[in-house]
Amino acid sequence: MNDAAPRYSPRYVRLVVALLTGAVFVEFYHRQILAVAMDEIGREFALSDGELGSFVTAFAVGYAVSGPLLGRVADRLSRRGIYSAGIALWSLATLLGGYAGSFASFFATRLITGCGQSSAGATNSPLLVDYVAAERRGGALAVVTMGATVGALTAGALGFAGAVEAFGWRGVFIGSGIAGLAFAAAFAALVKEPPRGWSEGRAYSPSAPVPLRAVAAIVRARPALLQTFLGTMLSSVAIFASAQWVVSFFERVHGMTNAQASLGLVFAALASTVGAIVGGLVANRAWTTNPRAVVLVPAACSLLACPALFAGAGARSAGLAVALYSLSGALSLVHAAPASAAMQGMIPDRMRGFVSSLIASLITGVGLGGGPYLAGALSDWFGSATNPASLGRALAWVSLLYVWAGIHFLLASRTLKRDLELNAQQS
């Protein structure tokens, strides 16, 4: 380690990991409150399922367009500053969503929310990687991933507690935006910008942006990076589709109230949290002994997530539907920490911000932008206007993407060990 490099205590590193987890919590909480309020917004603006799904597409487009641009900047400037500003921007947009008076104005706030949240893809994982050594990253990434599931759980708890019914969907959006702005201020005050490569003892200063052809060469030379990315992206389509429509599914198909359906979301989020933790433990244990297991376990769990969700979407009993949906959520999230750790381990230090943002933007653009809209469009096609069960059929067919994702994780296992070693030699 360079003598001029800062020294961060283990206690401070844990604080940073907690704040990065908190940022993910705020990020996914602000995403998931739309799912809790989906039917309320649809009734107020008289929207079809496809039009409701377009709100998520707007978010994803904003994210996908802004992400790579912020990634280029993040490889040269303060990632902590970019992230803080992004949290503030998406929280402000969430707050303004509570004042939207039309489909178009609410659509615009979701577009801006996506632009703000793209800062997370460019900065969260690169910051964590520079604070946490490789052999502990799987566990740290699992903790950060928990921020997503706990954020979704909290959004569901709001519905269960009757917040949407008591304060209206507008009140929920306004209050959430104010809380997010407060967190942005705390994040900016407490997180320091670490030197690139600090956790690996090779701290260096950022240089000129890496040419795009160099990024393409890295992807070609590391086939496991591409296969892991494809598996993650395909999983995200099914995950985001299910997460965004689950409350509406329980309300329509099983006749639950918003509070009861939100409780179902809470159970699913708790199960997904367990899945994320298991994935992190697998990554930590396998990292130095059997790197192939880092993606083989996610492969097996992805393959099992499909029949669980398919059966849950067609279950006649509400309790069984919640149980199977929760099981599918747990299995589908096992991949999150191992896949992220594997991809970060194959990306050279000098381009982590840009490549991480590119990966996050593509995953969000295709997964979040395509998944909920695909499910909504399929529901319309299956006859949502006259058949409440159409949404369940739509989610069942979308779940087949888990099988496709599992195949890509299997393919990644063939060269993962070699590609990790190659990156270690060249970084």
Read off the pLDDT of residues 251-307 as tens digits, 9 standing for 90 and up.
Answer: 888 989 877 887 887 788 788 888 888 887 877 777 777 888 889 999 999 999 999
Residue 1 has pLDDT above 70, yes or no: no
The position carrying tokens 């943002």 is 357
- Rounded to an integer, what distance in angstroms lies between the CA atom of residue 280 and that of residue 271? 15
CATH topology of domain 10-198+211-426: Growth Hormone; Chain: A; (1.20.1250)
Count CB neighbours of 76 within 10 A. Answer: 14
- Residue 19: pLDDT band by 50, 70, 90 thresholds? very high
Q: What share of the chain is helix, strand, coil (3-state, %, to 5)?
A: 85, 0, 15
Instruction: Please give the model's pTM, rounded to 2 decimal places.
Output: 0.73
Residue 207 has pLDDT above 60, yes or no: no
Q: Residue 426's pLDDT is what?
A: 63
Domains of the chain by residue range: 10-198+211-426
Q: Which ranges constitute the DSSP H helices of 223-351? A: 223-254, 258-286, 293-314, 318-333, 336-346
At residue 383's C-alpha, the angle toward residues 378 and 384, to 5°, is 80
Task: Say which residue, 353 or 193, is predicted with more confidence.
Answer: 193
Extract the tokens encoding 189.
């005050």
Q: What is the DSSP string of 129-186?
A: HHHS-HHHHHHHHHHHHHHHHHHHHHHHHHHHTTHHHHHHHHHHHHHHHHHHHHHHHH
How far, in whole angstroms, is CA 277 from its chain's centroid?
Answer: 15
Q: Residue 306's pLDDT is what?
A: 95
Residue 205: strand, helix, or coil: coil
Across 362-377, b (16+ Cβ under 10 Å) vs e yields bbbbbbbbbbbbbbbb
Q: Residue 405's pLDDT is what?
A: 96
Average pLDDT, stretch 103-127?
Answer: 92
Q: Residue 208's pLDDT is what?
A: 58
- The kind and range of the H/E element at 290 are none
Cβ contacts of 183 within 8 Å, gap of 6 or more: 22, 23, 26, 87, 91
